[in-house]
Amino acid sequence: MKARINGKTYELPKLTMAVNEKLEDYDEKETAFKNEEIKASDLYREQYKLINDLLGETAVCEILQGDNIEEIDLTNLTLALMDIRKAYTDPITEKHLEDFRGTMGRIKGDIELVKEMKNV
């Protein structure tokens, strides 16, 4: 699994139960933030921890241009996490689109057949 972040490709761990649970734990923190139960700074720390867990310190330092959460651009942090999440969901989304296109193609064929039958 690869994620494209800031124009560069990074290897992600495969989506195992352990990785999924880390993503779910982060989602709970995001929900707590939306419910005003935690501060934005707490959520940014969770984002930083999650990205570190998934990519490792070296990649995170390169992506965020620093290794100290107090000094990095927090917008870039959030964008990097969005790119990571997208990398995990894209194959599933693409499969759904492929299946949908196949179904639409069959429906179009059926419609054309019905039109031809009307003209007979």
Q: Read off the pLDDT of residues 45-102 as tens digits, 9 standing for 90 and up.
A: 999 999 999 999 999 999 999 989 999 999 999 999 999 999 999 988 887 788 788 8
CA distance 80 to 85: 9
Q: What is the sign, positive or negative, of the torsion defined by CA atoms of 98, 6, 20, 47? A: negative
What percent of the chain stands above pLDDT 70?
Answer: 99
CA distance 66 to 76: 11
3-class secondary structure, 39: coil
How big is the chain, counted in residues? Answer: 120
Could you tell me if 22 and 53 are in contact, meaning their C-beta atoms sit under 8 angstroms apart?
Answer: yes
Give the C-alpha distances (Å, rounded to integers) separating 31 from 36, 38, 120: 9, 9, 60
Q: Determine how many CB atoms are found less than 10 A away from the CB of residue 50.
A: 20
Please report which confidence band the pLDDT of residue 36 belongs to, taking 50, 70 and 90 as the band edges: very high
Please report which confidence band the pLDDT of residue 120 belongs to, taking 50, 70 and 90 as the band edges: low
Mean pLDDT score across all residues of the chain: 92
Q: Determine how many CB atoms are found less than 10 A away from the CB of residue 10.
A: 22
Q: What pTM does this model have?
A: 0.78
Q: Exposed/middle/buried for 38, CB within 10 Å: 0-12, 13-18, 19+?
A: middle
What percent of the chain stands above pLDDT 90?
Answer: 72
